[in-house]
Amino acid sequence: MWSLSAFALVLPGLVGAQSIKPNTVTGACPAGWFDPDFVDGLGCLLFNDTHHMGWLDAARACQGDHGGSLLKIATPQQKAFVAMELEIVWTNTNSPYWWVGATDINHEGLWVWPDLSPVDRFVWYHNQPDQGLSSNAGYLAARHGGDMYDLPVTDSYAFICQREREEADQPASGSGSHLRRPSNGLSSDQ
Ligand SMILES: [Ca+2]
């Protein structure tokens, strides 16, 4: 069983980042969420492979159960970090594909993130997106350096949630009991 906390322990050493931690970061991530505070703008991340699901259900799960949204990748630095994470996660989970927040479900060919900002070219694999009307959501392929592909929203995959850090004056215990578990997951029924 893969544990979020297990790989979270690996990363500060890889990045050696305490000295470059931006001093603008305040607050904390809920328990069970990964805290990449050395990568500007990523907030808190939850790599969820407990339940594979369609893109719309994954988006609802991130929003409803976790108070966030599917992951937005805003910069090449963020992409490089997430790709590195996926390499680690992939070897522990058998989940090579992960839904993120990119979609053109509202307007074919117009790809946007959950906040409606445009999806930049650097996120995609070189020949993507290429599936037109049949495929309206993006997943990251761990086996291809975390590059993104367009897939049908009805396909079931693991997914990456993202949320803002909690306010600095609030306890970092999370708002739901499912967030306090050391491993990630949507529910405790498995
Ligand atoms: Ca499409």
pLDDT at 105 over 90: yes
Instruction: Look up residue 104 and give its two tokens.
Output: 């053109």
User: Largest alpha-carbon pair distance within the chain?
Assistant: 46
Distance CA 30, CA 33 (A): 6
More confident residue, 60 or 189: 60
- Position 23 scores a pLDDT of 41
Percent of the chain with pLDDT over 70: 74
Average pLDDT over residues 96-124: 97
Q: Which of 110, 115, 120, 104 is nearest to 152 (CA)?
A: 104
Domain residue spans in the chain? 33-168
* Residues 101/56, Cβ–Cβ less than 8 Å: no
Question: Cα(169) to centroid of ligand 1, in Å?
Answer: 42
- Ion ligand 1 — residues with CB < 5 Å: 104, 136
CA proximity to 34, closest of 53, 58, 15, 55: 15
β-bridge partners, 99: 139, 159
Instruction: Fold for 33-168, please state it.
Output: Mannose-Binding Protein A; Chain A (3.10.100)
Q: Which residue has the tokens 């906040």?
A: 115
Summarize the confidence of residues 76-95 as an average pLDDT.
92
Band of pLDDT at residue 94, cut at 50, 70 and 90: confident
User: 148 pairs with which residues across the strands?
Assistant: 124, 140
Q: In sequence order, what are the beta bridge partners of 163?
A: 44
Residue range 142-180, pLDDT digits in tens: 988 999 999 999 999 999 999 998 876 544 444 433 333
pLDDT for position 26: 66
Q: Residue 49 C-alpha to ligand 1 middle, in angstroms?
A: 24
Contact 166, 28 (CB under 8 A): yes
Q: What is the enclosing helix (H) or strand (E) of 80? A: helix 76-93
What is the overall mean pLDDT for the chain? 80
Q: Kindly state the average pLDDT of the residues 23-46.
A: 85
d(CA 64, CA 76): 28
Helix (H) or strand (E) holding 137: strand 137-141
Decide: 29 and 165 in contact? Cβ < 8 Å: yes
Report the separation in Å between the CA atom of 154 and the middle of ligand 1, taken as the mean of its atom positions.
Answer: 13
Mean pLDDT of 22-51: 84
| Cα 37 from Cα 42, distance rounded (Å) | 7
pLDDT of residue 21: 38
Q: Ligand 1: distance of its center to the CA of 160 in Å?
A: 20
19 pLDDT higher than 50: no
